[in-house]
């Protein structure tokens, strides 16, 4: 039975139910993640205990009862539910004289959430446990030019391998961040032209393989959500996330919330050729006389005083500042976060980019900070979006009981 929404109440572990067209090509992958039975529904007591134990150390029954404001027997009922499904481990710890108190802790690896950074050059998958601790981190090279079916095969195999490395826990949700505009149905409306992803109903394709909630998001938007949770945007009411590297994109957080827009394209000013983001990285490589696709080598040579590389970097920052000023003037943010590949040279280019931004958008002056998450932002954001959806459903169920 396929879940239509995420639920920690009527939890269905993420079963693999391959479609006929995928079984033969991926049979070896599916064997890594055994199918599991649905987990029984939790009562309000079980849900309350679950919420109290997430992110907490072991607690006695008395401490749990105090936290969730119920009697000890009532808290015990919730603990019993979670023990029965293997989500709580209980033991006795000495507290001096007398009988040792029984303490209860969340069995965090009992289930997991998946985050995926589906890039043009690599696919990275992480698994996080119930306390958001890292269970597995697996990356493989992606192959440009392969068809949609082969791309999906590869993605499924990487998720399956990561889950196997984590001990094959049941999966609650899968979040995917990728380059492109993603609509509310999880279809890639616009993808990189040379990747052949445009129009691909990725959510539906993955849902035919993994019987759990699937969340598909633009990579810059996923990264912005991670920055707001853990990175430079933490505590900021509004900011622009600038993803810079071999491609340039942006995302917006406003009033503490990720802005997606009607079609999932909010903040993607790089789609306007007049704003000079399209091809800006390639122009930097050409102007800087780089060998291959090593952008960072141009910045390194500029840092060392190379005149050609310095001029190339100056022109690159000029182009970035045009689109950045446009999106900043639209929302008047307090902050711009430099992410993606250019986060590695943030200290070098940040002040110069800020000067150009302030010169163009002279009526506003957002500060510029470098992402501390760097290349981790998209995959962490993808997992965070999945966790947020799970927690949102948990809150909904709590209110409904």
The two tokens of residue 172 are 């609650």
Nearest to 171 by CA among 205, 202, 208, 214: 214
Residues 6+ apart with CB under 8 A from 292: none
Question: pLDDT averaged over the chain?
Answer: 86
Q: Give the C-alpha distances (Å, rounded to integers) separating 204 from 11, 199, 268, 272.
A: 20, 12, 24, 30
CA dihedral 349, 350, 356, 357 (to 10 degrees): 140
Residue 344 CA neighbour count, 13 Å, CB half: 12
pTM attached to this predicted model: 0.86
> Which three-class secondary structure string do you get for the chain?
CCCCCCCCCCCCCCEECCCHHHHHHHHHHHCCCCCCCCCCCCCHHHHHHHHHHCCCCCEEHHHHHHHHCCCHHHHHHHHHHHHHCCCEEEEEECCCCCCCEEEEEECHHHCEEEEEEECCCEEEEEEEECCCCEEEEEEEECCCCCCHHHHHHHHHHHHHHHHHHCCCCCEEEEEEEECCEECCCCCEEECCCCCCCCCCCHHHHHHCCEECCEEEEEHHHHHHHHHHHHCCCCCCCCEEEEEECCCCEEEEEECCEEECCCCCCCCCHHHCHHHCCCCHHHHHHHHCCCCCCCHHHHHHHHHCCCHHHHHHHHHHHHHHHHHHHHHHHHHCCCEEEEEEHHHHHHHHHHHHHHHHHHHHCCCCCCEEEECCCHHHHHHHHHHHHHHHHHHHHHHHHHHHC
pLDDT confidence of residue 18: 37
Measured at the alpha carbon of residue 262, what is the angle toward residues 258 and 263, in degrees to the nearest 5? 95
* Separation CA 300–CA 53 (nearest Å): 47
Most confident of the following: 33-47, 84-98, 309-323: 309-323
Most confident of the following: 85-94, 195-204, 243-252: 243-252
Contact status, residue 39 vs residue 4, Cβ threshold 8 Å: no
Question: Which percentage of the chain shows pLDDT scores above 70?
Answer: 87
Q: For 309-364, how does the pLDDT look when each residue is reduced to its tens digit (9 = 90+)? A: 999 999 999 999 999 999 999 999 999 999 999 999 999 999 999 999 999 999 99
pLDDT confidence of residue 13: 47
């Amino acid at each position: 039975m396929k879940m239509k929404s995420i639920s920690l109440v009527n939890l269905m572990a993420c079963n693999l139910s391959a479609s006929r067209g995928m079984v033969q090509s991926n049979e070896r992958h599916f064997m890594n993640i055994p199918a599991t039975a649905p987990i029984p529904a939790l009562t309000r007591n079980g849900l309350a205990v679950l919420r109290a134990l997430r992110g907490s150390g072991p607690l006695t029954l008395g401490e749990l009862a105090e936290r969730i404001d119920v009697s000890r027997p009532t808290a015990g009922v919730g603990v019993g539910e979670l023990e029965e499904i293997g989500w709580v481990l209980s033991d006795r710890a000495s507290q001096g004289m007398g009988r040792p108190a029984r303490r209860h802790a969340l069995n965090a690896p009992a289930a997991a959430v998946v985050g995926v950074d589906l890039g043009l050059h690599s696919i990275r998958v992480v698994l996080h446990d119930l306390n958001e601790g890292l269970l597995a981190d697996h990356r493989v090279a992606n192959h440009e030019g392969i068809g949609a079916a082969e791309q999906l095969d590869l993605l499924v195999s990487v998720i399956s391998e990561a889950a196997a490395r984590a001990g094959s826990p049941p999966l609650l949700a899968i979040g995917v961040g990728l380059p492109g505009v993603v609509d509310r149905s999880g279809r890639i409306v616009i993808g990189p032209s040379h990747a052949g992803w445009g129009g691909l109903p990725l959510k539906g394709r993955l849902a035919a393989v993994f019987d759990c909630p699937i969340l598909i998001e633009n990579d810059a938007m996923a990264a912005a959500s991670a920055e707001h949770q853990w990175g430079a945007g933490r505590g900021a009411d509004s900011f622009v996330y600038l993803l810079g590297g071999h491609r340039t994109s942006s995302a917006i957080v406003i009033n503490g919330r990720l802005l997606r827009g009607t079609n999932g394209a909010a903040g993607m000013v790089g789609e306007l050729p007049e704003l000079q983001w399209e091809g800006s990285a390639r122009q930097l490589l050409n102007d800087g006389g780089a060998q291959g696709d090593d952008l960072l080598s141009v910045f390194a040579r500029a840092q060392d005083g190379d005149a050609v590389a310095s001029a190339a970097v100056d022109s690159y920052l000029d182009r970035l500042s045009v689109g950045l000023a446009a999106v900043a003037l639209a929302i008047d943010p307090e902050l711009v976060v430099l992410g993606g590949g250019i986060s590695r040279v943030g200290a070098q280019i940040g002040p110069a980019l800020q000067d150009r931004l302030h010169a163009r958008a002279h009526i506003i002056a957002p500060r510029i900070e470098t992402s501390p998450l760097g290349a981790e932002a998209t995959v962490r954001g993808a997992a965070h979006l999945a966790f947020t959806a799970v927690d949102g459903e948990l809150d909904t169920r709590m209110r409904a009981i």
